Structure 1
Amino acid sequence: MHKILSFYEFCDLDVDKVTKNKKKIFETSKNNSILGTIILSIEGINGTVSGSSDSIDILNQLMKDLGYKCNIKFSVSEKKPFKRLKVKIQKEIVTFMNLGKSAKNTGTFIAPEDWDDFISNEDIKLIDVRNFYETVIGKFPKSIDPNTETFTDFIDYIDKELSANKDQKIAMYCTGGIRCEKASSYMKDIGFNNIFQLEGGIINYLNKVEEKKGSWDGECFVFDERVSLKYNSEIGNYELCHGCRNPIDEEDKRSIYFEEGVSCPNCINVRSDEQNEKSRQRQAQINFTRNKKNSL
């Protein structure tokens, strides 16, 4: 069983401190066989990692010792969520064109237990901050999908679709909460007055609200080998198309446009013949290695 730790915190640090923290976090993670991705910046830290229960506890304690006070979420999985360890320094812990810097001016947090009652109010505009390929497999009913390809696209959506009325009540949600903190900070910085967000994101909601009482419809896309999660962080029914990295289900796999490791109905008319051929060669190597292991 793999223990999973998801965490982030916005805080102000100097470059020297960030560099030293990276070295300590990488060494501790490597020595304890922890896998996943951790991003450090002068504006904070963001990551999701997995390992044994003891190793994850060691890393969590190290981050506390380094002075981080992260928003953390634990879960477990029988499936190995990550294949490698990456610890890196970037300009931002979540890319947003340096807007909403350090998320110091966030919207009002709504607890998962209060979320459904809150968004049922008729004067609330509910917005999904995630990208379009995440929203297609699950969402809160009646939420607005901005149809973005990247998080930075959400800036244009704010400026073009929402800025005309900065007094409207807007409730936002994303996977773990970090994108909403950045977006809500930017929105308040430019004059929005009534911004609310789901505390801890969809993952927190799915872990704290009973399925029979919750309004969430579908599954939640996650950026690791699990692909999607259901209530109580149970692994969902989706896989990734390794051609376009979009989630696919059994119906997609039955399509004439599905080719393992190459294409799916989402990308059959998007990728070039050259891209498909490269993917086809890569899949052939994977199949060869897989068959060789099975024959041993």
Structure 2
Amino acid sequence: MALHNRVSADELKQRLAAETFKRTTISFYQYAKIVDPQAFRDEIYQALSEIQVFGRIYVAHEGINAQINVPEHNFEALRNYLYSIPFLNGIRLNIAVDDDGKSFWVLRIKVRPKIVADGITDPAFDMDNKGQYLDAAAFNELTANPDTIIVDMRNHYEYEVGHFDGAIEVPSDTFREQLPMAVDMLKDKKDQPIVMYCTGGIRCEKASAYLLHNGFKNVYHLEGGIIEYANKVRQQGITNKFKGKNFVFDERLGERITEDVISHCHQCGRPCDTHTNCKNDGCHLLFIQCDRCAAHYDGCCSEECYSIVQLPADAQQEMRKGIDKGQMIFNKSRERLRPRLGDRDRY
């Protein structure tokens, strides 16, 4: 059996659209010591392909990080397989809150140096020394204490569309930048209760260990992140302290937790929390765009990109040669990206 996909993206998307069954979107992670990540990667690729799993999985010496979907009729087979792996036995599977089953259309499993890039080089850092887990009810109870500090360990564009009441943003777009920033921001709070959270738990778990490594005393992290919290809130009928949308790294680009819209269109300023990538393949800036601006700019971030997508495909391809887009994310704090957006006062 091939250990990599060999079918074109267009065909795979057509196959997904033609499926007559539903898929369930799931995320999970586990910090664990994997001796041979490549062998483990090949083993799970074969097993997951056989039960039609799609998604993106990273494997490293420090563990596994997965965002996937699976046909509903294969859910039990997936769980049984994962539980057959000793360090994944009993692993919590975070079920998506707002799911159309179209989150992924191909299976990609990659071996990485780490399952979440952190920039940590200190050999004394130990993931086994991490903060205490909090479930949804315990999170609500501890964060009701006015002395408790709530820290959002997600990127700026995630925080912008949804976050917990009173949460502090660490204003960066990379986790490796956020870790030292968080230590610096909280350096005078080392004895106060600090609660960290993220999308599914993987980043805030490592962040809690990093704070403890830097001398903090009372560090906690939300078990299963926002996804597990939202599910428990619905199941248990407890107060929901999260407002807005939870950004997710798949085709959906977000799952709605509450009806609150706390962000604005980056082009006209109207209330909006819909992320999109600029339609110009030479740009692909990630930004927030309302329906009205999407229609006016044809899904582009600026008049410049709009004019480019009107050109023939071969002309667009020629213009893209040699372009390094880097990490194209609109951030209000980064003035260098503001000119890429359309005239905010146009309407």
TM-score grouping bracket, smaller chain normalisation: 0.7 to 0.9
Which residue of 2 is the match for residue 228 of structure 1? 254
Structure 1 range deviating more: 109-118 or 127-136: 109-118
Mapped contact 2:276–2:287 kept (Cα < 8 A):
yes
Amino acid at match of 2:103: P
Q: Does 1:73 align with 2:94?
A: yes
Tell me which of 274, 283, 294 is aligned to 1:253.
Answer: 294
Which residue of 2 is the match for residue 32 of structure 1? 51
Which residue of 2 is the match for residue 10 of structure 1? 31
Classify 1:99/1:229 alpha carbon distance in 2 versus 1 (closer, same or farther; 3 Å). farther
Which residue of 1 is the match for residue 116 of structure 2? 94
Which residue of 1 is the match for residue 7 of structure 2? none
- Work out the CA distance in 1 between the residues paired with 2:238 and 2:75: 31
Classify 1:57/1:107 alpha carbon distance in 2 versus 1 (closer, same or farther; 3 Å). same
Task: Give 1:42 deviation, angstroms.
Answer: 0.9
Classify 1:249/1:114 alpha carbon distance in 2 versus 1 (closer, same or farther; 3 Å). farther
Mapped contact 1:4–1:56 kept (Cα < 8 A):
no
How many residues end up aligned between the 2 structures? Answer: 270
- Work out the CA distance in 2 between the residues paired with 1:279 and 1:103: 50
Question: Identity over the aligned pairs, expressed in percent?
Answer: 27
Q: Taking structure 1 as the reference length, what is the TM-score of the superposition?
A: 0.80
Q: Does 1:60 align with 2:84?
A: no
Unmatched runs of 5 consecutive residues or more in structure 1? 286-296
| Within-5 A mapping of 1:148-167 | 148-167=172-191
Tell me which of 279, 285, 290 is aligned to 1:244.
Answer: 285
Mapped contact 1:79–1:226 kept (Cα < 8 A):
no
Task: Give 1:51 deviation, angstroms.
Answer: 2.1
Structure 2 counterpart SS, 1:240: strand
Structure 2 counterpart SS, 1:209: helix
Q: State the Cα deviation string for residues 183-215 of structure 1 (Å, max 9, x = none).
A: 111111121101111111011111111488312
Amino acid at match of 1:125: I
- Work out the CA distance in 2 between the residues paired with 1:190 and 1:108: 16
Structure 1 counterpart SS, 2:286: coil
Which residue of 2 is the match for residue 47 of structure 1? 66
- Work out the CA distance in 1 between the residues paired with 2:102 and 2:176: 30
Which residue of 2 is the match for residue 84 of structure 1? 106
Mapped contact 2:34–2:61 kept (Cα < 8 A):
yes
Mapped contact 2:190–2:217 kept (Cα < 8 A):
yes
- Work out the CA distance in 2 between the residues paired with 1:106 and 1:14: 22
Q: Which has the higher contact order (CA 8 A, sep 6+)?
A: 1
Q: State the Cα deviation string for residues 80-100 of structure 1 (Å, max 9, x = none).
A: 111221101111111112469
- Work out the CA distance in 2 between the residues paired with 1:102 and 1:6: 24
Amino acid at match of 1:13: I
Amino acid at match of 1:246: F
Tell me which of 137, 147, 165 is aligned to 1:141.
Answer: 165
Mapped contact 2:130–2:212 kept (Cα < 8 A):
yes
- Work out the CA distance in 1 between the residues paired with 2:221 and 2:310: 39
Task: Give 1:226 deviation, angstroms.
Answer: 1.7
- Work out the CA distance in 1 between the residues paired with 2:139 and 2:310: 42
Classify 1:164/1:4 alpha carbon distance in 2 versus 1 (closer, same or farther; 3 Å). same
Structure 2 counterpart SS, 1:246: strand
CA RMSD, Structure 1 to Structure 2 (Å): 3.1
Structure 2 counterpart SS, 1:3: strand
Structure 1 counterpart SS, 2:27: strand
Task: Give 1:137 deviation, angstroms.
Answer: 0.8
Q: Taking structure 2 as the reference length, what is the TM-score of the superposition?
A: 0.69
Mapped contact 1:21–1:66 kept (Cα < 8 A):
no
- Work out the CA distance in 2 between the residues paired with 1:279 and 1:81: 29
Which residue of 2 is the match for residue 180 of structure 1? 204
Q: Does 1:195 align with 2:219?
A: yes
